[in-house]
């Protein structure tokens, strides 16, 4: 809407139009990923970790943007049944309650996986004993959550890269090929209403591994083994969205199963820059568009909310920046690309989260660093960077931790309200050319500890 407005108004009226625009309600086009996906009959989800839910920007971004939640680790075997037949669902229960309170669907992840598996399971060597342990685990866990789970990743990552042979795991070695169908049968019995999925990585395009999964699903459908969906994890690298991803999803759909993109992220060598972020945006657009082109592709889930907590840098040192929100919860160009591909309209006036939207003309991104610290305080610096258009001014909004006060601030003009500090430029650093940056610094007195950094969002005009 803003783009349309500015196109028809003369330059002299632009300021007035922008002032009016902030008072307008959001237009009919969807302004969040969840809303836009819902308008196409799909859901857009995120993996979330209970350990981060106390961080307000984390929870509010989840609640605002996503309408499906996958517990990142809380439903895995080592968490839910650390010793035999002794179950602990407390962290998962909290995430499920949160999702229900915010009308999000829940993806159960995962019942049977070779990883994050407690030692007592890996140590079982009798076929009957392991089958019994696996059935009991599925029956108790899927039974505990029955009625609350939209989709279960029943079996995760059972095939090898390259050959498409079965992955070596205790289940494969001790039970044999039949363990997967046994798991699906047990899951159906425990929760007849959940959609049951097989989930794996590197099966996003057509290759030996996805061919093996395809053959298994075809066989399951032919023999009446209960399976409803296939999850393509889609842990991708920059510039490498498989060109046959849509065709691959279509062939699974033709077998009579839904297709879900379950763990989407697109990593790059860090640090990111505008060119890599633009490539990433285009990659996200390709993935979302491929899903939209396949009617049975009904779910897109990203593997995390913010780059700050992504699994990627821990596993691939030197890589990261794989998600839709940066470390400071600013929307990345990939966010706008995904939203636009879904038919939503990024940057509408009134959309929440617009500050710091780098894909929107005239807006900016910002980065925070702690530059010094001592027992009762610290110094911080925020760098504001213009996007692809020049800006005439900017605003940074910092939410401080409890017991923290700004003692001094330089190269910016602060206004404080409660724990929120709004920083405007001083006259000489307001205007920024495309891609140019301005920084301000500050000192924080922290009476109750200096551990928490402020969360920072930025906007421009």
Nearer to ligand G3I, 153 or 351 (CB): 153
Exposure letters 397-415 (e unless 16+ CB within 10 A, then b): bbbbbeebebeebebbeee
DSSP 304-366: -SBGGG-SHHHHSTTEE--SSB-TTSPBPHHHHHHHHHTT--TT-TT-TT-TT-TTSTT-EEE
Nearer to ligand G3I, 309 or 440 (CB): 309
Shortest reach from residue 74's CB to ligand G3I, in Å: 9
Shortest reach from residue 68's CB to ligand G3I, in Å: 16
Q: Is 307 in the site for ligand G3I (CB under 6 A)?
A: no
Cis status of the peptide bond prior to 69, with omega within 30 of 0: no
Q: Are strands 394-399 and 68-71 parallel, antiparallel or unpaired?
A: unpaired
Q: Considering only residues 349-408, where is the footprint of ligand G3I by CB under 6 A?
A: none
Among 83, 90, 100, 115, binds ligand G3I (CB under 6 A): 115
Q: How far apart are CA 6 and CA 260, in angstroms?
A: 39
Q: Is 311 in the site for ligand G3I (CB under 6 A)?
A: yes
Cis status of the peptide bond prior to 397, with omega within 30 of 0: no
Lookup result for tokens 């075997």? 77
Lookup result for tokens 């969807």? 30
Nearer to ligand G3I, 112 or 398 (CB): 112
Q: By rule CB under 6 A, what count of residues binds ligand G3I? A: 9
Among 97, 100, 116, 448, binds ligand G3I (CB under 6 A): 116
Catalytic-role residue among 35, 65, 263, 340 = 263
Q: How far apart are CA 309 and CA 321, in angstroms?
A: 10
Among 72, 181, 258, 348, binds ligand G3I (CB under 6 A): 72
| Selection from 258, 254, 352, 357 nearest residue 300 by Cα | 258
Q: How far apart are CA 230 and CA 210, in angstroms?
A: 10
Nearer to ligand G3I, 169 or 233 (CB): 233
Active site residue 72: no
Shortest reach from residue 346's CB to ligand G3I, in Å: 27
Q: Is 263 in the site for ligand G3I (CB under 6 A)?
A: yes
Instruction: Map residue 427 onto helix, strand or coil.
Output: helix
Largest CA distance in the chain: 80
Q: Is 160 in the site for ligand G3I (CB under 6 A)?
A: no
Shortest reach from residue 113's CB to ligand G3I, in Å: 7
Among 27, 73, 136, 416, binds ligand G3I (CB under 6 A): 73
Q: How far apart are CA 171 and CA 194, in angstroms?
A: 23
Shortest reach from residue 323's CB to ligand G3I, in Å: 12
Q: Is 237 in the site for ligand G3I (CB under 6 A)?
A: no
Between 187 and 226, how does the x/- string for binding to ligand G3I read (CB under 6 A)? --------------x-------------------------
Nearer to ligand G3I, 179 or 201 (CB): 201
Q: How far apart are CA 200 and CA 112, in angstroms?
A: 12
Binding site for ligand G3I (CB under 6 A): 72-73, 115-116, 156, 201, 233, 263, 311
Which residues are designated catalytic?
A: 263
């Amino acid at each position: 809407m803003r783009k349309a407005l500015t196109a028809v108004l003369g330059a002299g009226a632009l300021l007035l139009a922008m002032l009016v625009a902030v008072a307008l309600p959001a237009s009919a086009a969807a302004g969040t990923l969840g809303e836009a996906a819902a308008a196409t009959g799909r859901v857009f989800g995120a993996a979330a970790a209970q350990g981060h839910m106390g961080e307000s920007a984390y929870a509010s971004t989840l609640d605002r943007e996503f309408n499906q939640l996958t517990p990142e680790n809380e439903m895995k075997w080592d968490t839910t049944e650390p010793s035999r037949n002794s179950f602990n669902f407390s962290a998962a229960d909290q995430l499920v309650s949160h999702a229900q309170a915010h009308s999000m669907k829940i993806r159960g992840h995962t019942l049977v996986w070779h990883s994050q598996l407690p030692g007592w399971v890996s140590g079982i060597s009798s076929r009957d004993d392991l089958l019994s342990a696996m059935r009991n685990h599925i029956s108790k866990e899927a039974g505990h959550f029955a009625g609350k789970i939209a989709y279960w990743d029943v079996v995760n990552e059972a095939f090898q890269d390259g050959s498409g042979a079965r992955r070596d795991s205790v289940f494969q070695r001790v039970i044999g090929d039949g363990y997967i169908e046994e798991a699906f049968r047990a899951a159906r019995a425990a929760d007849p209403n959940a959609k049951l999925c097989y989930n794996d990585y590197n099966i996003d395009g057509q290759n030996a591994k996805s061919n093996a999964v395809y053959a298994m699903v075809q066989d399951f459908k032919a023999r009446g083994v209960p399976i409803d969906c296939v999850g393509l994890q889609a842990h991708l690298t920059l510039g490498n969205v498989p060109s046959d991803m849509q065709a691959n999803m279509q062939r699974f759909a033709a077998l009579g199963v839904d297709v879900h993109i379950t763990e989407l992220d697109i990593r790059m060598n860090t640090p990111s820059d505008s060119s890599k972020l633009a490539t990433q945006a285009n990659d996200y657009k390709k993935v979302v568009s491929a899903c939209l082109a396949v009617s049975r592709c009904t779910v897109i889930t990203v593997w995390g909310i913010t780059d700050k907590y992504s699994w990627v840098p821990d596993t691939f040192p030197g890589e990261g920046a794989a998600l839709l929100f940066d470390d400071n919860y600013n929307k990345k160009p990939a966010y706008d690309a995904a939203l636009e591909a879904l038919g939503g309209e990024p940057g509408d006036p009134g959309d929440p989260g617009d500050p710091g939207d780098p894909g929107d003309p005239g807006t900016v991104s910002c980065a925070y660093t702690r530059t010094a610290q001592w027992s009762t305080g610290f110094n911080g610096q925020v760098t504001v960077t213009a996007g692809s258009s020049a800006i005439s001014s900017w605003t940074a909004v910092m939410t401080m931790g409890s017991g923290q006060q700004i003692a001094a601030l330089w190269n910016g003009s602060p206004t404080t309200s409660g724990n929120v500090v709004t920083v405007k430029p001083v006259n000489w650093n307001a205007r920024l050319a495309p891609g140019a940056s301005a920084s301000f610094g500050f000192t924080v007195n922290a009476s109750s500890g200096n551990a928490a950094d402020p969360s920072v969002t930025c906007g421009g005009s």
